[in-house]
Amino acid sequence: MAKTTAAVSPFDVGAAATVISALDSPLRIRLVQELHERDHYVHELVAATGKSQPLVSQHLRVLKKAGIVDSERTGREVLYKLVAPGVLTLLADASALISR
């Protein structure tokens, strides 16, 4: 049986690699899931994940550098929000590839 190949639209390989690299961590994926529900302060993400504040902050910096999340400082606290919700579709599609 011949294998059919779907047409793939042109895309920016560098941008795709940046996003995929930023999502290459179960903790970062969990942070994206949490931020999909609502914006969170760092201390809330620490509580939700059970990880240390420095570790959570480090992973949030990676997501921010990739343009997936953004932050806003309010006094001593930093509020993070998901600014690229399309990554959830990417994650769901990636999960479906393995589940087949």
**Residue pair 71/57 in contact by the 8 Å Cβ criterion:** no
DSSP conformational letter for 7: -
Please list the alpha-helical segments (H only) found in 1-100. Answer: 13-22, 26-37, 42-49, 53-65, 87-99
The reported pLDDT for the residue numbered 5 is: 60
Along the chain (100 residues), what's the average pLDDT of each consecutive run of 10 residues?
64 91 97 98 97 98 98 95 96 86
Dmax (CA) for the chain in angstroms is 63
> What pLDDT, on a 0 to 100 scale, did the predictor assign at position 4?
55
